[in-house]
Structure 1
Amino acid sequence: MTDRAQHSDRPKRRRRDSLWAIGLFALVAGVVVRLVFTGLSGWPSAVLGAVAMAFWTPWLIQRVRRREATAAGTGPDDIPGMERQILKGAPPPADPVRRREMAALVDSRRRRLRRNRWWAFPLLALMFFGTSVLWFTAGSVTAGSLMLVFAVLFMTWLTWFHLRFDRRLTQMRRRLQS
């Protein structure tokens, strides 16, 4: 199989998978969030903090992609497309090499998901609900209430997403075995 034919069946790299796009999004989101909390007068520190985040976020994502690509036996640019296939519940690839790569990625993700859930959920719950408690004890009922609502919504969404992703990984693994 030629090199060109080998790469023609790979999913096209999307703009949102680009590390530049991720960094730019981190920059804009960081500036907006900081300005919402500190006001327009705090724009210099908002920009500096967001620039640091705009460099750190793509670096971290690239590091994770490389680790997952090594575990799956594929390239880092293929990981986002494979993850989209899993999340959408798409049928498994027909190519035996791609099936093995997908199976390795699914197994790696399932191991990580199940290994980290015992500490990640309680820690996040402690962070979000604890922040709400701190606001209440500081005497700010409005901030405490808003944080409590945010904590409940975020933890509900996170639990739903976790269960959905675990179900999709299990379904994909079953489809890859058949």
Structure 2
Amino acid sequence: MPEHRNGGWIQTATGKAFWPIDPRPEDICIEDVAHALSNLCRFTGHCKDFYSVAQHSVLVSRALPTPLKLWGLLHDASEAYLIDVPRPIKPHLAGYEEAEARVMDAVVHAFGLAPATIPPEVKRVDAAILADEAAQIMLRPPMDWNLTEPALGIRIDPWSPPAARRAFLEEFEALTALAA
């Protein structure tokens, strides 16, 4: 019988139990993160073609200097366990931001990310890639997106979920091998 944990649990792709409201670093599994993010579409699926959170994360990672690449790859890792909630909705879902912060804290500790909070440069690149994504994978917008950063200037060719999962895991392996 498992120890008492808060809230209910979900079964992950690797068959583990994960408590989204009571996450622990030892519960985080990079294969689960890669699998879930590769099957999760950005923009609640309203892209011209399927474009995964895993691919977005790999592209963010590749646009950062080496010391921040792992943070870039894992900046949306909480979405592997909580889903990708659109920015306009997050502040209106009671308890979501707190749950997201708890999962990210577990991710930070599981992978030894430093600093313990998302670095400003990762936030900047994440905001900048939004301009590339809006221009390339979305239809013409009905109004201004009010983007805060200029585009990175990268080309986005959407990957299949298996390709995105593979690229995410390869990026993770390369970055953790560098740190070892």
The TM-score by the shorter chain falls in which range? under 0.3
TM-score, normalised by the number of residues in structure 1:
0.28
- The structure richer in helix per residue is 1
**TM-score, structure 2 normalization:** 0.28
- The one of the two structures with greater contact order (alpha-carbon pairs below 8 A, sep at least 6) is 2
Larger radius of gyration: 1
